[in-house]
Amino acid sequence: MNLPASSNKNRRQSIRRTPKGKPRVTCLKGSMGLGRNIGEAVLDLSETGVRLIVTIPLEVRQEIEVTLQGAVQPSPVKLLANVVWCVPTADNHYCVGARFQKYLNYAEFGRLT
């Protein structure tokens, strides 16, 4: 039986990039803008989602509010997202992948990355 050769193509819907500098991130559980900031750092960003470090574990499909502001981004960008995956890190934090409910527009994406 012949199996197809594995492909190393990036099959993501949009390109992921590392952010410029160290953007400020705020991550709140839910969409009400309430509670404490659990966001620590942005690892990478795309027009469709974000990978970030948070201080507490989050449930898959949980709604979060992410606010990003970079050195070149004049005003904060606030987006609602849903958690896709969450894994613990070695330093008692959590790495989270989240998909935005509405895409980050290209101009903002360019200023943040």
In this structure, is residue 2 part of a structural domain? no
pLDDT value for 1: 43
Q: What is the mean pLDDT of the chain?
A: 86
b or e along 66-104 (b: 16 or more beta carbons within 10 Å of the residue's beta carbon)?
Answer: bbbbbeebeeebebebebeebeeeeeebbbbbbebeebb
How confident is the model over 63-82, as a mean pLDDT?
Answer: 90
Domain count, the chain: 1
Residue 70 resides in a domain:
no
Under 8 Å between Cβ of 33 and 63:
no
pLDDT at position 18:
84
Do the Cβ atoms of 113 and 20 come closer than 8 Å?
yes
Residue 106 in 3-state DSSP? helix
Q: What number is the average pLDDT over the span 30-41?
A: 88
Average pLDDT over residues 29-50: 90
pTM beyond 0.85? no
Whether 71 is in a domain gets the answer no
Q: Which pLDDT score is estimated for 4? A: 46
* Strand, helix or coil for residue 108: helix
- In-domain check, residue 82: no
Residue 47's domain comprises 15-61+89-113
